[in-house]
């Protein structure tokens, strides 16, 4: 079906002109409001997105630092144990009897009149 042409004529009075101007102002006002809300929404989305990205990076960095801290804690504990062992060894090495005992066992030194027999460390074959 073909469209009919508008056959109603518009009344040209000051009231109609004023009414049309008011309707046009309301449309423009609504359009500006929509644009402002859209702009504000975009700004909020960008800011929130930036904060989320920052938070994720900080969590990742914190996890890495926490892992590194625990690793260094374990290393420090190990080094303290090593230090304690070395201090004990220093204390023992200051004792002459201990040094002589090490020389006898490791380097086969003997006292006067002693004979040292070296025994094989393997199992007998019988």
State how far the Cα of 40 lies from the Cα of 42, in Å rounded to an integer. 5
pLDDT class for 113, splitting at 50, 70, 90? confident
- CB contact at 8 A, 110 and 104: yes
Block residue for tokens 């990205």: 53
Q: Element (H or E) spanning 91, and its range?
A: helix 14-93
Are 70 and 76 in contact by the 8 Å Cβ rule? The answer is: no
- For residue 53, being part of any structural domain is answered with yes
Query: 123 in a domain, yes or no?
Result: no
- pLDDT tier for residue 4 given thresholds of 50, 70 and 90: low
Side-chain half-sphere CA neighbours of 25 within 13 A: 6
Whether 124 is covered by a domain: the verdict is no
Residue 92 lies in a domain: yes
Q: Residue range 68-87: average pLDDT? A: 97
Residue 113 lies in a domain: no
Tell me if residue 118 falls in helix, strand or coil: coil
Whole-prediction pTM value? Answer: 0.52
Looking at the 3D structure of the chain, how many domains does it have?
1
Structural domain boundaries, residue 59: 14-107
DSSP 121: -
**Virtual torsion, Cα 38, 39, 40, 41, nearest 10 deg:** 50
List, for residues 26-60, the tens digit of each pLDDT value: 999 999 999 999 999 999 999 999 999 999 999 99
Report how far residue 51's alpha carbon sits from residue 59's, in angstroms, rounded to the nearest whole number. 12
């Amino acid at each position: 079906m073909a469209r009919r042409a508008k056959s109603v004529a518009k009344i040209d009075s000051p009231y109609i002109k004023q009414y049309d101007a008011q309707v046009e102002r309301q449309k423009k006002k609504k359009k500006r409001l929509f644009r402002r809300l859209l702009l504000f929404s975009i700004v909020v989305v960008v800011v929130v997105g930036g904060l989320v990205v920052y938070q994720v990076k900080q969590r990742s960095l914190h996890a890495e630092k926490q892992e590194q801290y625990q690793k260094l804690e374990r290393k420090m504990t190990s080094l303290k144990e090593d230090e304690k062992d070395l201090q004990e060894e220093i204390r023992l090495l200051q004792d002459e009897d201990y040094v002589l005992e090490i020389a006898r066992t490791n380097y086969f030194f003997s006292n006067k009149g002693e004979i040292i027999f070296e025994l094989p460390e393997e199992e007998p074959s019988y």
